[in-house]
Amino acid sequence: MHGQALIPNLFRTEYRKIVSVLCSTFGIDHIEIAEDIVSDTFLTATETWSINGIPENPTAWLYTVAKNKSKNYFKRDSLFQQKISTEIKYSSSGYEEFEIDLSQKNIADSQLAMMFTICNPSISKDSQISLALNLLCGFGTQEIADAFLVNKEVVYKRLKRAKEKLKTEGIKIEQPSVSQISTNLETVLTTLYLLFSEGYFSTSQNTILRQDFCQEAIRLTSILIENKTTNTPAANALLSLMYFHSSRFNARFNEKGESILYEEQDDNLWDNDLIEKGIYYLNQSASGKFLTKFHLEAAIAYWHTKKKDSDEKWENILQLYNQLLQIEYSPIAALNRTFAFAKVRGNPAAIIEAEKLNLTGNPFYYSLLGHLYTDIDNTKAKHNFEKALRLSNSSSVSDTLRKYIEKF
């Protein structure tokens, strides 16, 4: 890989790993120091590699430099040394024993510990996702701002407040205990679920960023699966759901970037390898005693990978949505259920169901009504598509809606 492309790629993959290890080593009070050391490591790489060329093993080079910078900082800053000396094991005869463990196992352990720290109930959902993107995925404030369609300053303040909250609460970065896993794993899974959803259903126009979000959510959920204490049925169900959704990613947009409805997708573009992974983890999730929303959503996503429409397919999807709404109601799930209801009971009956929802602030509500009314009452269909267009904040969705309106 060319040097200009290599450093951004390494930044994406290695920044998050080194930051997690340093944060775990230094403690929550010193997150900014960890970030500064890693940022300085990459700055050194940019300067050195432009002069001397890329080293034979760039990742090992980064790890060595990060370790040395950490050691130098520890030696140089006596206040920092005093604050964390009780948490770090080093020889009383000197600081040469002070070491940063960047083994693959410790990286995985540190990222797992960071997940449970970031997903602490004391901070808001938006802050949890922003911190996960920043510290666990290596996304910058501008990238996060683009994804949430907010100002960069909003994200910066959100991150700062969340870090301060974790410090004032005295949250430790440590391997989660059995009781912590029991108490907080659902929060961790929900954050990863929302992170994936932010990518999959993102209103941002940066397609690469959107796919990156999904890939990062899958990577972090896989860390849970690889650790026996967090390898739960619910975690497997969530990973299954992510793989099923990802399998249809390439069919969701055309070459112009316009969104494609499920019924109009080219199923030849679905990724069968990802579907098989989804099936594997769905089977793994069946070992537990409790049925979670992740199990039900994974099962719904499984039926959506069935290429042929059939009464069995849509009846199963409808019944699964009925169960899901009983466990946890959400407007989007209710809308999706109505689509399945239309398949089973027909559009006139589905219109009655849909209008009961009265989700007047949701563009997808009006878009669904537009489709349901088409060929039943085209005036109402056009009217609903126009309402959806006024509410839409996504250019790709808006372009698709305009095409529907033009047909009338």
Domains contained in the chain, CATH given: 4-102 (no CATH), 308-408 (1.25.40.10)
Q: How far apart (Å, rounded) are the C-alpha atoms in residues 337 and 353?
A: 10
**pLDDT reported for residue 218:** 96
**pLDDT reported for residue 322:** 97
Q: How far apart (Å, rounded) are the C-alpha atoms in residues 56 and 121?
A: 44
* CB burial string 87-102: b at 16+ within 10 A, e below: ebebeeeeeeebebeb
Residue numbers of the chain with a pLDDT score lower than 50: 1-2, 89-96
Q: How far apart (Å, rounded) are the C-alpha atoms in residues 111 and 142?
A: 23
**pLDDT reported for residue 212:** 82
**pLDDT reported for residue 5:** 67
**pLDDT reported for residue 122:** 86
**pLDDT reported for residue 44:** 95
Contact 176, 223 (CB under 8 A): no
Residue 33 dihedral angles phi and psi, to the nearest 5°: -65, -45
Alpha carbon 272 to its chain centroid, in Å, reads 22
Q: How far apart (Å, rounded) are the C-alpha atoms in residues 237 and 283?
A: 8
Contact 251, 267 (CB under 8 A): yes
Q: How far apart (Å, rounded) are the C-alpha atoms in residues 143 and 146?
A: 5
Q: Is-above-0.75 flag for pTM? A: yes
Q: How far apart (Å, rounded) are the C-alpha atoms in residues 354 and 335?
A: 7
Select from 120, 105, 102 the least CA-distant residue to 23: 102
Helix (H, G, I), strand (E, B) or coil at 70: helix
Helix (H, G, I), strand (E, B) or coil at 124: coil
